[in-house]
Amino acid sequence: MKQLRHQLKLATMLGLLVAGLAGAFQNALALDAAGEGRRAWLKYNCYGCHGMRAGGGMGPAIAGEGEEIYEAVTYGKGEGMPAYGTLVNGTEIANMATYLRSINSSGEPMFLHWWELVPTQ
C-alpha cells in the first residue's frame, strides 16, 4: 500500500514535470509581438499590396502605423482594402500594429519563412 502511494506520487510529479516542460517549450517557440505580427503580415498577404516592409505598393505605405489599423483591417477600406474581419483575430491585428511600429527600428523582424515555427530566414 505504501509503495503504491509512493508510485502514484511519483507518477503525478512526472506528469507535472512533462506538462511544465511542454508549456515552457511552446513559450520558447513563440515569437515576440512584432515577430508574430510579421508572421501574420506575410501569411495574410498584406505585403502583396502594401510592400514587403509596408513601404507602399498598390496600397498605401503604412509602416509606423499603430492600433488605428484595427478598423481598416477588420472592415476593409475604400476600393482596394479587403475586409479581414472573419480571418484575423484581435491579437493578430494588435501584433501587426506592433510589427508596423517596429519597422526601421533595430528590432524589426525581417524573416520571410512565416510558416516555420521559428523562422530561420
Q: Using CB under 6 A as the criterion, which residues of the chain lie in contact with ligand HEC when the complex forms? A: 44-46, 48-50, 58-60, 62, 65, 69, 72-73, 77-82, 84, 96
| Residues in the chain, total | 121
Q: Identify the H or E element spanning 39.
A: helix 33-43
At closest approach, how far in Å is the CB of 23 from ligand HEC? 29
At closest approach, how far in Å is the CB of 11 from ligand HEC? 46
Q: Which residue, 54, 53, 61, is CA-closest to 111? A: 53
At closest approach, how far in Å is the CB of 102 from ligand HEC? 14
Residue nearest to ligand HEC (CB): 78
Q: Which residue, 35, 43, 30, 39, is CA-closest to 84? A: 43
